[in-house]
Amino acid sequence: MKQTALILALALAPLPMLSQPALAQDATPAPEEDGPSLMERGLALFFEGFRQELEPAIEGMGKALTEMQPAIDKLMAMVDDITNYQAPELLENGDIIIRRKPDAPPIKPPAEPGIEL
């Protein structure tokens, strides 16, 4: 019984040496094709699809940033120079405090009226 199973397994096993054509010893490999390989084309298609999927989100972010720009400009006018501040501290209650350095110059009021400090 064991011999029959072994013969059957060998008969059904793929034999790569028999399935491939024999190569002559002096055969030279085929020259590579010009242009991108299959892997390069696949990656290009993947990234093109990725870009198409993200394009609406990127456009939406651009619109949001355009709308937020006046508020960001006002905030930056209040902050003046970021190097005048210490590293942020996270408190136990989750608050984040960014303290002004003690040796930082005094804050100049912003030129635009209506902003309270």
What pLDDT digit, counting tens, does each position of 39-98 carry?
999 999 999 998 999 998 888 888 888 899 898 888 877 777 888 899 999 999 999 999
pTM score, two decimals? 0.35
Do residues 36 and 47 touch, judged by C-beta distance below 8 A? no
Q: Which pLDDT score, from 0 to 100, does residue 32 have?
A: 60
Domain residue extents for the chain? 37-102
Q: What angle do CA 105, 107, 109 make, to 5 degrees?
A: 150
